[in-house]
Amino acid sequence: MHMHMRWFDSPVSYEKNSVKEHPVNLALWVAQGILAFAFVGAGGVKLLAYPKYRAMLEKTGPTTLTHGTITFIGIGELAGAVGVVLPGAANIAPWLSMWAAAGLAVIMLSATVFHLRRREPPIMTIVLFLLATFVVYGRAGHGA
């Protein structure tokens, strides 16, 4: 018995032909790819090039973030980058992608507050927050 399901009928659409049949699913995959790319870069810099990251951060003034805090954020960003794509791509617990996106949204909300307090433009953190929120919303089965 085969039933045709719309992209929003199921919490996650990772079927072989779902991208072709459902443009919103394609948009979700593109958003997930952008998030993964951005957070591999951001988390990687925090973990692998800490001195350069610290120098860049302090160009606009001193920061209260410790090395441990920055490392913790970097690990969270890398975990989110992997989590937003891998579970759905491997079709192993694909619902985890939604939760990874939710974690990235929380990180970006916090980063937005951080940058606003430093009187820095938070445009990138806001864009990434919106992308992550779109993935959470779409992969949770809403947005119809």
Contact residues for 27 (Cβ-Cβ < 8 A; gap 6+): 134, 138
| 7 within a domain of the structure (yes/no) | no
Model confidence at 5, pLDDT cuts 50, 70, 90, reads very low
Question: Do 57 and 63 contact (CB within 8 A), yes or no?
Answer: yes
Q: How far from 37 is each of 8, 71, 77, CA to CA, in Å?
A: 26, 18, 11
The predicted-structure confidence for 80-123, as pLDDT tens digits, reads as follows: 999 999 998 998 889 899 999 999 999 999 999 999 999 999 99
Cα torsion angle, 117, 34, 82, 18, sign: positive
DSSP state of 140: T
Q: Give the per-residue pLDDT at 64.
A: 87
Phi first, then psi: what are they for 137, rounded to 5°? Answer: -60, -50
| 72 within a domain of the structure (yes/no) | yes
| 16 within a domain of the structure (yes/no) | no
Chain CA centroid to CA 97, Å: 9
The predicted-structure confidence for 21-47, as pLDDT tens digits, reads as follows: 688 889 999 999 999 999 999 999 999
| 93 within a domain of the structure (yes/no) | yes
| 89 within a domain of the structure (yes/no) | yes
Of 132 and 89, which is predicted with more confidence?
A: 132
When the pLDDT of each residue in the chain is averaged and rounded to a whole number, the result is 86
User: What tokens were used for 107?
Assistant: 């990180």
Q: Give the per-residue pLDDT at 121.
A: 92
Phi first, then psi: what are they for 12, rounded to 5°? Answer: -140, 135
Cα torsion angle, 111, 81, 99, 2, sign: positive
Helix (H) or strand (E) holding 96: helix 96-117
| 48 within a domain of the structure (yes/no) | yes
Number of domains in the chain: 1
| 10 within a domain of the structure (yes/no) | no
Expressed as residue numbers, the domain containing 76 is 22-139
pTM: 0.82
The predicted-structure confidence for 38-89, as pLDDT tens digits, reads as follows: 999 999 999 999 999 999 888 888 888 899 999 999 999 999 999 999 998 9
| 57 within a domain of the structure (yes/no) | yes
